[in-house]
Chains A and B, each alone.
Chain A
């Protein structure tokens, strides 16, 4: 009889060990999958995990790209982690990300072709506000009526997607785009473009914002009373209420913070790497960020590392497709495996495995 016994404290040893174990397991099982597909397994794994960082030809380009790919994931995941710590489940970050992009891009396009240096900050603000406002819908409904925020925020993703399809074909469509759906490209609109701050580093304003968010959240959670309140609400809701923490305030705060960061991430992406609003520019970052938040154990530094790891599998996966002709789907499956193993091995952090007869507690 095997059973799990809860550890009084999460094991520090296992917290560090489980990601390594999960990556190792993924390599073994993923390698078997690659072998079954008739591809050299060791080479495939080397390309995915090693080449984006150290390949003589690609690494100089891939390393900055890791930051570009990881920054929206980290920014959104940081915002979500606050709520998740408090037991508030915003799974609609994808919708907030889209609304942020629409509002921010709309702000920029409304003033086209201005050269004012104020336009980009105004767009960031509009983006964050757009995301915040979209997240306020589930927040207010939860505070006012007790409506389940998981479901409302998820439903609002579909609504945001329909709005995105609409604006990219109508309101924000590029008048010079020959009738193709999609907005003007911000890369040709210098004042409003989110360009690299130092060329060749991948360091755009979204990356800066992600790093700031990591530090800010870390300080908030460890040093500030609101951080304590958030953790208390998540771990012991009743105790939190007795000590005078208003649940409504925590809900508004956490959902608003997550929405604003997701909205800002959307704006940074649309005005930078993506370049324009198109029907499907969103590519699922809001959902992937949920995975990143959990891989990072809801800890700011953990999320930073998890975001980078996720980006590594994306970029390494692309290189493996390019160099070995691996099917794109096998990379998707590989990422799914990595996630499953990380989630599965996490059990060792909080529980001890006991073999033997059950002792009556």
Chain B
């Protein structure tokens, strides 16, 4: 094995993909779309939804596309190999669906200039690397409102995964809107340090319930907290990442759904048309990337109506979930009256808003 053979092979592969990627060739050959998943497709949450969107792409385009995927790809060295092999197999467009794939995606993209890459939740772009993520905090605002209205103990439990900006945004957004609906509300937050560990999530939910919480919000991906709430009886929960409708109408009263299908279809379309460009997408409820699962009958009619009104105002851009006046936890001013949070603040969020107790571990 020497340098020349590798380079020539890479060149040959990119040549193949380049011809595949042109609109003319697309009529005969299907566009090949690859997906790299961090978990098993049956995790019922994060990866499950990405895979559902892959199937939606297949259904939408029929013979015009061919999809491939690889599940449970560990972040790090194995990821770079998996992405490279996918590019070598002639994929025209590759979605890498976890934050930890950021550096591997950028590295591989540099070697395959004619393959398009889409990296979820990251912030590093290149000419052939686009990034996309969802404004989950918009959904959290609606959850917070329902939670504030529904709680009787005024204690809301929150199972958080890791202290990263996305999770902190969710906590803040939910808290702000719960507080608006019910000034007496208190949050207790458990950092589980895992995205997916059913047994631990279940224990965390039980601990919160035993400490008096009657609403459980979760930023971890399994349905175990739902099951724990169901067992406890009069506790409500919200589906996370996927609808988790099997726990409706109680304990699951609504959900935040990661709906990647519209975005994936749009991006595949762009590759077929030859109009694909590297973009930075951060979409919310409006474009349909964040879905709000059906609000069940366990929620009183008036609360449901308010929640839906809130959803509409966020969707059409009338209302931003982070609108001032808002102070940081230490009392310093973050946003003045009527001011909305700039995306830069949101992307790097590392503070709680005023009223939340406890510290963010770091």
Contact = CB atoms under 8 A, between A and B. Distances in A.
Q: Are A and B a genuine interacting pair, yes or no?
A: yes
Interface string B54-81: 0000000000000011111011111011
Interface in A168-226: 169-170, 173, 178-182, 185, 187, 198-202
A328 B77 contact: no
A61 B71 contact: no
A18 interface: no
A179 B9 contact: no
A318 interface: yes
Contacts of A169: 162-163, 361-362
Contact of A325 (B68, B72, B162, B348): B68
A313 interface: no
B89 interface: yes
Given A58-B88, A60-B1, A170-B362, A200 B6 contact: yes
Contacts of B350: 179
Judged by DSSP, the binding face of A is: loop
A239 interface: no
A235 interface: no
B198 interface: no
B89 A57 contact: yes
A69 B84 CA distance: 15
B5 A60 contact: yes
Interface in B163-216: 163-165, 168, 193
Contacts, number: 116
Contacts of B13: 57
A269 interface: yes
B81 A315 contact: yes
A37 B256 CA distance: 34
A229 interface: no
Contacts of A275: 76-77, 103-104
Contact of A322 (B89, B347, B348): B89
Given A57-B89, A269-B77, A318-B81, A328 B6 contact: no
A280 B77 CA distance: 12
Interface in A129-188: 165, 169-170, 173, 178-182, 185, 187
18 contacts: A57-B9, A58-B88, A58-B89, A61-B84, A64-B1, A65-B81, A169-B162, A169-B163, A179-B163, A198-B3, A200-B1, A200-B6, A200-B7, A273-B76, A278-B76, A283-B76, A321-B70, A325-B68
Given A169-B162, A178-B123, A273-B80, 5 more contacts: A61-B9, A179-B362, A201-B1, A318-B81, A323-B68
Interface of B: 1-3, 5-7, 9-10, 13, 40, 68-72, 74-78, 80-82, 84-86, 88-90, 99-100, 103-104, 107, 123, 162-165, 168, 193, 347-348, 350, 361-362
